[in-house]
Structure 1
Amino acid sequence: MAAQLPIPVYTSLETLYADLGTATNHAARWNDLAEEFQKRFGRRPTHIARAPGRVNLIGEHIDYALFGVLPAAIERDILIACAPRDPSLYPRGDVNAHNLHHKYTPQSFTPTKKRSNSIGSGPPEEEVHVEEWHLDIDKKELRWESYVKAGYYGVLNRFFPTSATELEHPIPVDLLVTGTVPAGSGLSSSAAMVVASTLVFLAANDKLDGVTKGTLVEMSMENEKRVGVNSGGMDQAASVISTPASALYVTFYPRLAATPVALPGSSASSTSSPRAVFILANSLVTSEKAVHARTRYNLRVVETLAAARILALHLGLSVGPRERLTLRQVVGRLGQEPEEGWAEDDESLRTTLRLAVKEVERLRPASADQDGQEGVTLEEMVKLSGMPKAEFREVYLDWIDVEATHFQLYKRAKHVFTEALRVLQFREVCARQDADDALKELGDLMNASQTSCSRDFDCSCAELDQLTKIARDAGAYGSRLTGAGWGGCTVSLIAEDNVSSFIEKLTAAYPPYNNLKGDALSEVIFATKPSSGACGMWLSSFRLRSLISPTTLSIQVRRVGREIELM
C-alpha cells in the first residue's frame, strides 16, 4: 500500500521531477534557496523539505464525507530549508522563520507548555483534548507563519510529551520558505505549506524513523485544523502520496488507502488515444478557505453530516444516539457493507450509490420557503435529527465554527452521492486506457461535476462558471473548478497537441487575462502533468553545477553518512 511507504529522500532533482521536462529550472530554485539561506543565516541548510500543490481531477467536497477522490500532485510546490540553531544561545524549540517572498515579514516564535485542567475541575478527563504545547495561531487574521506553526504543533505534541520522565526538547531552528503554488488558487497551497512544515520539523528533530506517508497525511490533516479548516484529507494525501505520471485514487473508509491511476494515453506506447494534458487556469478570484470557512467550507461539512444522520433515520438504518456518521457510512449500512469494507473491484459500492441517489430525494423539502430556499432552518434540522437541541449543538455545531440561516441538506447530499459515482466512473474509463472516446467520456464527467458543484453544492462563482464555459468553447473535453471553489482555479482536459492553441484562445476570451503577458500570464494559466509527492533532501552541502549545457543539468551525488552531498 502506498500509504505505508516511507517518506522518500531523493538524491537527484531529475529523479524527483521525473517526466516533467523542467529539472533545470527546479535546480536553479533549489540552489537559490540554499544560497539565500546561507546569506541570511550564515550557514548552509541541513534539510530541505518539498510538498507539492495538487489538482483535484474529480471528486469535489466528498473527501470529508469519506468517499474516494481522484487528485494528482502538480509540479508547483512549497520548499522549506532548515538548519538547527545553537541550543545554548536560543530558547528550546525557538523558530526563526523567513519567507523569500518580499511581502511576508520574518517571524520568530517559541512554543510554550500549556497547562491541562486541574484535577476535579472542568469536564471529565475523557472529554478534554489536552494540548501539551502551545503556539499562538490567529484563525481570524491568518498569516503565512500560521501554517508553519500548524505543522510544528503536531510534531511537538506527538514526539515531545511533557509528561515523559526524561523531558526531551525540540531544537531551535532557522527556516526559509519559498513556493510556486499560488495562494487562494484552489491548488492547495495551504496543505502543501502544512505538509512541508510538518516534514521539515520531523527531519530537523530526527523524528522520521517509522513515519510513513500515511502517518504524514494524518498528522498534516490534524495540523491544518489548527488554522481553522476541517480538512477531509484529500489535499494532504495528494501532496504526500502521489507518484509521477498518475492520478491517485484516494479512499478514506474504512481506512486510508491510495492507488495510482494511469490516465488515458499516458503510456508512451499508446497509439489509439491522444495523450491527456490538464490545463490549470486561475480565475483570479482569491479563495481564502480559512477566512470564509464558517459560511462556506465548514458549513458544508456540517450540512453533509446532518444530512447523513437524517437520511439514515429516513431509511430505518441504525444510528447511535450521539453518533456523527458520514454519508459514506450511510451507503455502507444501506448496502450491508462488511466491516473490512468492500473490495476495490466489488460492484456493491457503485450499486448502492445509485440507490442512494434515488433515496436522497427523501431529504428534498416539500416546498421552497418565501426566500426561495430549499433548505431547512436550524430548528427544523434539529427536529429531523431526533436529538434534543442541546445535544445536537454539542455533537454537530460546538466543535466547528459555522454561520447560516438555512441548511441545504438535500442539495449537499445529492452532490456528494452523484459526485462519488462520477469518481468511480472516471476511474473505470481510465482503466480502459486506449478507448478512442476515453477523453470525451472523462470530459463529460468533469462537466457534470462542474454543474453539480455550481447548482447543488454552491461552491462555484460567476468567474469559474464563465471560465469553464470558455474552456469548453476553446476545445476542452471537459472543464471544472478544482479545490474548495468560490474562486481559485479551473482544470481543463485537452489533448497534448492542443496546448498552445487552447491557451491562446482562453487568454483572448477571459477578460482578466487580456493584459497579461510573459511570466505574468504563465503564472495564472499553465499545463501540468502529475508529479511526485512530498519528499526531502538532507544536505551536508548543497551546490548544483551544470556539467553538459545551460539547458541540460546533471547532478553528481555522493552519500556522506546518513546525509546526501550534491556536488
Structure 2
Amino acid sequence: MTRDGVFEAPGRINLIGEHTDYNDGFVLPIALPHVARVTAARRDDGVLRMSSRQAHGVTEVRLVDLAPGAVTGWAAYVAGVVWALRDAGHPIGGFGLLVDGNVPLGAGLSSSAALESATALAVTELSGVSLDRRTLARIAQRAENEFVGMPCGIMDQSASLLARERHALLLDTRTMATEHIPFDLTPAGLSLLVVDTKAPHRLVDGEYAARRRDCHRAAELLGVPALRDLDPADLDRARHDLPDRLARRVRHVVTENQRVLEVAELLRADRIREIGPLMTASHASLRDDYEVTVPELDVAVDTLLAAGALGARMTGGGFGGCVISLVEETAVEACTTAVHTAFAEHGFATPDCWTATAAAGARRTDHVPAGVE
C-alpha cells in the first residue's frame, strides 16, 4: 500500500486505580514501550480497508455501511473509531489501514485502546481534522463502548494518548484533569516487574459489565451521581443501606480512589518504596470486595510478596491478565524464578515476566515496518 503516514500508540499498565474510571474516579497509569502501529493511506472510493500482520485476510466495508455490528473481531476496534468520528460529524473519508504491533494480546495491557488511539490519530491527522487528545480519547472510548460492545471507562485511551515518558499519568476521569508525576525507578534501584499470567483475559463476556451495573445501582441507591462522590466516612452507611455484594463493590471503589491519591502523593515526595503496601492492599480489595481475580493472579501476587517484592497487585480489568510488582532491581531474577516455580507447581501455563518502564504516548513516526510498500 502507498502510505501517507505511520502512527503508533502504546499499551498501558495501571499502577493503581482499578475499576474507578467508570465511577468518575482517579487512575494512575503509565504507557508502555509496546505499541500498536497503523500505516495509513487515504482512499477516494469511500471504502475502509483493514488488514493486520497478526491476522489473516482483509476486511473491507463501505463508510456508509458502518454501524455497530457491521464489523467484528480485531477490525471492529479500527472501524469503530472511524464510525465514531463520522457520527460526531467529522469528515473522515476512505482509508487503507495496515495494523501491526507488539502489545501482548489478552494480557490486560490495553492492546485495544492502543489500536483505537493509533487509528484515531492517523485518520484525523491525515483528514485535516484537528481534535485535542482528550476529545480523541472520548471518541476512542465511544468506539469501544458502542461499536465493539465493551463498556470500558476512559482510562485506557487517555493513557495511550496523553502519557509522557518517565511519568505516571494522574487522571481525574470526571473532569479529565491530568497531572504528569515523575515515575523513573532506575535511580532508586527499583524495577516494575510484570507477570503476564497467560490466564485468558476476555471482558466482553459480561463480568466487567456486571461490575459496572453494580456500581451504578449502588450510586443510585445511595443518592449520589457516582461512587466518586463518596468518601471513607460514607462506608458505614453503604454497608447498612446496601445488599452485601453492592456494599463490597462500593468499599473497593471508595478505598481504591483513596489509594490512588496516596500513591500520587508519595510519588511527588519521591517516596517510591512506600507505595508497595498500597499496591498490595489494592489487590486484596480487588480479590475480596470486587471479586475480579483468578487463581493465577492471586498465586502470582502471593509468590512475589513471599520472594521479597515491596508490593504486588493485579492490573487491568481482572479475570486474567497481568500482575505488577515493585521490586528491588537486585531481586528481579529471584522473583521471576519464584513465579515460574509456583506456576509449574500449580499446573498453570508458563508466565512471561519482564520489567516495564514509563513510555511516551501516541505519536506519528517515520518508522515503517519492513515489507510495507
Q: Would you call these one fold, judging by a TM-score over 0.5? A: yes
**1:411-444 deviations in whole A, cap 9, x for unaligned?**
11011111111111111211221x4xx41x3111
Aligned to 2:318: 485
Aligned to 2:305: 472
Identity percentage of aligned residues: 27
Matched, 1:215 2:135: yes
1:311–1:362 Cα contact (<8 Å) kept: no
Aligned to 2:198: 284
Aligned to 2:67: 134
Matched, 1:64 2:19: no
Matched, 1:447 2:280: yes
1:46–1:82 Cα contact (<8 Å) kept: yes
Cα distance, 1:219 vs structure 2? 1.1
Q: Distance between the aligned counterparts of 1:222 and 1:535, measured in 2?
A: 21
Q: 1:412 to 1:515 in 2, by over 3 A?
A: closer
Q: Distance between the aligned counterparts of 1:448 and 1:189, measured in 2?
A: 26
Cα distance, 1:506 vs structure 2? 2.2
Matched, 1:192 2:150: no
**1:183-226 deviations in whole A, cap 9, x for unaligned?**
2111111111111122222123221x2x1121111111111112
* SS of residue matched to 2:26: coil
Cα distance, 1:364 vs structure 2? 4.8
Aligned to 1:396: none
Q: Distance between the aligned counterparts of 1:299 and 1:542, measured in 2?
A: 41
Aligned to 2:34: 76
Cα distance, 1:354 vs structure 2? 2.6
Q: Flag the structure with higher strand content.
A: 2
Aligned to 1:179: 101
Q: 1:514 to 1:354 in 2, by over 3 A?
A: closer
Aligned to 2:213: 302
Q: Residue type matched to 1:202 in 2?
A: T
Cα distance, 1:307 vs structure 2? 0.6
Q: Distance between the aligned counterparts of 2:227 and 2:368, measured in 1?
A: 49
Matches within 5 A, 1:258-269: 258-263=178-183, 265=185, 268=187
2:219–2:226 Cα contact (<8 Å) kept: yes
Of residues 130, 143, 149, the one that matches 2:73 is 143
Q: 1:136 to 1:302 in 2, by over 3 A?
A: closer
2:218–2:242 Cα contact (<8 Å) kept: no
- Is the radius of gyration larger for structure 1 or structure 2? 1
2:134–2:176 Cα contact (<8 Å) kept: yes
Aligned to 1:98: 51
Q: 1:111 to 1:364 in 2, by over 3 A?
A: same
Q: Distance between the aligned counterparts of 1:68 and 1:515, measured in 2?
A: 33
Q: Distance between the aligned counterparts of 2:354 and 2:309, measured in 1?
A: 14
Aligned to 1:33: none
1:171–1:205 Cα contact (<8 Å) kept: yes
Unaligned runs of 5+ in 2: none
Q: Distance between the aligned counterparts of 1:515 and 1:218, measured in 2?
A: 36
Q: 1:427 to 1:358 in 2, by over 3 A?
A: farther
Q: Residue type matched to 1:244 in 2?
A: E
What's the C-alpha RMSD, in Å, of the aligned pairs?
2.3
Q: Distance between the aligned counterparts of 1:542 and 1:196, measured in 2?
A: 14
Cα distance, 1:238 vs structure 2? 0.8
Of residues 514, 534, 538, the one that matches 2:362 is 534
Aligned to 1:107: 59
In terms of mean alpha carbon deviation, does 67-76 or 495-504 score higher?
495-504
Q: Residue type matched to 1:452 in 2?
A: S
Q: Residue type matched to 2:127 in 1?
A: N
Matched, 1:237 2:151: no
Cα distance, 1:265 vs structure 2? 4.9
Aligned to 1:327: 227
**1:144-179 deviations in whole A, cap 9, x for unaligned?**
11111111112212244xxxxxxx6x4332211112
* SS of residue matched to 1:134: coil
Q: Distance between the aligned counterparts of 1:235 and 1:483, measured in 2?
A: 9
Matches within 5 A, 1:383-398: none
Q: Flag the structure with higher helix content.
A: 2
Q: Distance between the aligned counterparts of 1:448 and 1:300, measured in 2?
A: 19
Of residues 28, 43, 48, the one that matches 2:6 is 48
Cα distance, 1:61 vs structure 2? 0.3
Unaligned runs of 5+ in 1: 1-40, 114-132, 161-167, 269-273, 313-318, 320-324, 332-352, 366-373, 375-407, 545-567
TM-score, scaled to structure 1: 0.61
Aligned to 1:340: none
Cα distance, 1:244 vs structure 2? 0.7
Matched, 1:248 2:206: no
Q: Distance between the aligned counterparts of 2:93 and 2:133, measured in 1?
A: 24
Q: Distance between the aligned counterparts of 1:430 and 1:135, measured in 2?
A: 42
Q: Distance between the aligned counterparts of 1:476 and 1:137, measured in 2?
A: 46
